[in-house]
Each structure stands twice: as structure tokens, then as C-alpha cells.
Amino acid sequence: MLLRHTPKEITERGALTINPAKTCQPVGAMYAALGVHRCLPHSHGSQGCCAYHRSALTRHYDEPIMASTSSFTEGASVFGGMANLLESINNIFTLYDPDIIAVNTTCLSEVIGDDLNQIINRAVSENKIPAGKTVLYASTPSFKGSHVTGYANMLAALARHFAKNTGNRNGDITILPSFIEPSDMAEIKHILSGMGIAYIMYPDTSGVVNAPMDGAFRMYPKGGAPREKIIRSGDSRCALALGRAGTLEAARLLDTKCKVRTEVLELPIGISATDNFVETLIRTAGVTVPESLNVERGRLVDVLCDKAQYVYGKKVSIMGDPDILLGLARFCADAGMRILHIVSGTPAGAEWEKLIKEIAGPGVVVKTGAQADLFYLHQLIQNNKPDILFGNTYCKYIARDMDIPLIRTGFPIYDRVGHSYFPITGYRGGLHLLVRILDAVMDRMDRDSPEESFELVM
């Protein structure tokens, strides 16, 4: 009901954010850490902060998310959190025995000014870190950036701490995926394996936050990138970073620190972006495309050709994270859809906005950053109503108020299942996404059609 009071007239806001289209950095950092085998995320801040970060991931994946916290109280807030973190490190290794503790900061520890590097060095000097174990950290203040920024910072911390150049190049290709679902990470691995490519991918949350129920409790699921492989990434023949916003800093580190030749690609969402990913793999690995992959591509093209009349010309608005937005925009453009609005709460930069306009056309409205919120998206839709809205669970209120079909994509999705099991990347993921779009369009046609045109066959 409150959304119906959103004014249609758009006024520029310099400092006010209303219903932000993002969540905070530590959520993304925690997700990245979960993609490393036997790694325990640790939130250096209050217990309430950690509870929120775990809750956001638990609700999205319907899985128990394991993480620890420094549990700041008033004393730590005044005098600093060194004592809390040192005690936490000792307790965690004693009770939970992870191989790695990945510490992310919070607003509170950032404002206090805790020096994480100094604290971890002190833990080493006091023998609080057992032999063969590791503690690393990423700076992830919630008062700037978004969950994508936090993911990128933790991914960079993994590359900075582990990747080593021994001078002996191996034949592996390192893949750095952006903040995507475990099903998408599994789909990327499916393409690599099908092409016979030796690869290293991190983080890798497939088999971690979408692990099967087998009756056994595992503090650390079987999935996740092994530490040994992350170390080996420094000797890779090359690295492919999939999604600029989530991977650029880590890709730069592999380049500058380990002299690994690096390319930054778009996430392989849709036909053209997946084609580009596959062609890059052919060029860098010297392999050919297997027939199985040609079949997958052919199926996506076949369905798109068969049902083009239902999607061609449809107007869409898209909200989400920059890397996924770029992929969805290219997917919609490939399908002949008309993109009206692109909104992201994560700052993406002028180069990204320029690329979006090249894909969607000069008429698209693009806005990113703190003022690119759901209030603003609602105003845009009031002024130019799309046929379909892409976005996370929070977009359902706008979709209901404006009577628009919603295709749930991105993070978080709290009210539907499947996103952690069914990808949108690759040719198979593109087919899954296309079917979801067609279902939404045809459901709306059935709902709105008069009785004489309520068809059995579309």
C-alpha cells in the first residue's frame, strides 16, 4: 500500500537513499569465503552484524551458513577489537578446526580503525594460529559499496594471500567468477570440463550452499576451491575474470603479483556472451568445441527461433548487480527485447554505463550507486511501464503495485526456490532463463485474454 504513495515526478536526490537496491559488503565477503574448502568466514564486529549477514545468505539459499564473529561489546567499541579477535582465532581453531579463517571487517571495526594486519601478525607471534592454518582478511565497510564490492574485496584477498608464482607455469586456466549462484559456477565448470580444459576456479560455492541432504552434518561441505589450487593459480597459463565488478581487483593482482596473463570477460549469460567465453577458451587453451556443447547452443537457438514472437519487442526493466545486469541486458537484446531501465545500487562506472547503452540503445535510462534505489526504479516504471521486470525479491512489491510479471534474478531471492540449482549462465542456463521469460509472458496472455482467444496451443 505504501508504494502507491510513490510520486510519479522524479526529483534528483543528492544524499537520500530510499529502499536501497543492494545489501552490505560483508554479505558478499562471507559468500566468497564460503567458496573456499574448509574456510570459515569471520565477521570482525558485533554479534548482530554477523547474524544479519548469515541470515541474508541462509534465507537466500535455505542452507545453514557457518560463520563466526568477534562479538564486540561496548568495551571493544571504545578500546578496539584486538583482544576479541585474538581470542576468537584461538577459540575457532580449537573448537571448529578450519583450515582458513577469512576475516571481514564491519562498519564498527572500520570506524574504530582496527589494524587487521597487525592483529593477525600478533596472533602468529603468539602461536594462536596452528601450523598449516591460515588467517586472512578483507576490508569490507558496510557504509560504502555493496555486497558485490565485499565479494570483490574478499576475492582479491584470496589472490593476494595465496596465489604464488614459482616460475614453473602449469597448463591450468584460472577462472575468477563474479558474485553468481552456485548453479552458475557449476555450469561454468560444465563448459570447461566438456571442452577438456584443466582449470582452477575460485571461489566455487557449488556443492557448498546447494549441497545435497544425505543425513550427515558437515561443518565444511565437500565443495569449495581447495587452498592448494588457489596457490597454483599463480602459475596458471592465463586467467579469465568473468564479470568486471566482482573480479577486477583479483585479476589485477594475478597479473601484477604473479605475471599471469589476464582477460576480463562478461559473465556468459545468453548466446553472444557465452559464444565469446567459449571462443576465448578455444583461443587460450587450444581446444575444439565438443559436439555436446554445439547441441546445447542449438537447443537455445531453436527455442528462441520457435518462440521469438512472444519476446520480440517486449519492454523490460532490469534491477540488480552490474555484472548480472550486463549479461541480462545482452540476453534481452539478443532476443529482440526493448530495454527501458537499468538500475543498480552498486557503483559501476562510466565505462560500464557506456557499454550498457551500446547494448540497449541510447534511449535506455541507466543509474547506479546509492541513489539508484527501488524508490527511483518505481518512479521510472510509473513513467514508462515495461512488460517484464527483472530483479530480486524486493522488486515483487513494485511488480504487484504496477501489475507487471517479475522474473526473479540476482541477490537476494527469499520467496522462491531454484536459483541455487538452475543456472542462467551458459547455453543451458540461457535456455532455462528463456523458458522462465516465456512462461511469464504466456501466463500473462492467458490471464488477460478474452474467452474466445483463450488458446490451448500457443
> 374 and 429 in one domain?
yes
Kindly state whether residue 90 falls inside one of the protein's structural domains: yes
- How far is residue 194's CA from residue 11's CA, in Å, rounded to a whole number? 51
Mark which of 234, 267, 294 sits at the end of a domain: 294
**Which residue segment(s) compose the domain that 264 sits in?**
173-208+221-294
Residues serving a catalytic function are 107, 111
Kindly state whether residue 153 falls inside one of the protein's structural domains: no
> 378 and 272 in one domain?
no
- How far is residue 34's CA from residue 155's CA, in Å, rounded to a whole number? 11
> 435 and 321 in one domain?
yes
> 123 and 188 in one domain?
no
Mark which of 107, 129, 144 sits at the end of a domain: 144
- How far is residue 144's CA from residue 146's CA, in Å, rounded to a whole number? 7
Residue of higher predicted confidence among 458 and 364: 364
Longest dimension (CA), the chain: 80
> 290 and 203 in one domain?
yes
Residue 242 phi, psi (nearest 5): -100, 95
pLDDT digits (tens, 9 = 90+) for 245-284: 999 999 999 999 999 999 999 999 999 999 999 999 999 9
Q: Taking residues 92-118, what's their average pLDDT? A: 95
**Segments of 128-269 assigned E as strands:** 134-138, 173-177, 199-201, 238-242, 262-265
> 437 and 316 in one domain?
yes
> 77 and 50 in one domain?
yes
pLDDT digits (tens, 9 = 90+) for 400-437: 999 999 999 999 999 999 999 999 999 999 999 999 99
Kindly state whether residue 161 falls inside one of the protein's structural domains: no
Q: What is the CATH number of the domain that holds 400?
A: 3.40.50.1980
Kindly state whether residue 228 falls inside one of the protein's structural domains: yes
> 191 and 127 in one domain?
no
Kindly state whether residue 45 falls inside one of the protein's structural domains: yes
pLDDT digits (tens, 9 = 90+) for 205-253: 999 999 999 888 899 999 999 999 999 999 999 999 999 999 999 999 9
Q: How does the average pLDDT of the chain come out, rounded?
A: 95
pLDDT digits (tens, 9 = 90+) for 45-55: 999 999 999 99
Kindly state whether residue 61 falls inside one of the protein's structural domains: yes
Kindly state whether residue 302 falls inside one of the protein's structural domains: no
> 73 and 11 in one domain?
no
pLDDT at position 1 over 50:
no
> 186 and 126 in one domain?
no
- How far is residue 179's CA from residue 321's CA, in Å, rounded to a whole number? 9
Supply the DSSP symbol for 225.
Answer: B
pLDDT-derived band at 16, boundaries 50, 70, 90 = confident
Kindly state whether residue 249 falls inside one of the protein's structural domains: yes
DSSP states of 95-132 as a string? HT--SEEEEEE-HHHHHHT--HHHHHHHHHHTT-S-TT
Cβ neighbours of 233 (radius 10 Å): 29
Residues 246 and 411 sit within 8 Å (Cβ to Cβ): no
Count: domains in the chain: 3
> 279 and 323 in one domain?
no
> 179 and 72 in one domain?
no
Q: Is 99 exposed, middle or buried (0-12, 13-18, 19+ CB in 10 A)?
A: middle
Which amino acid type is present at position 354?
K
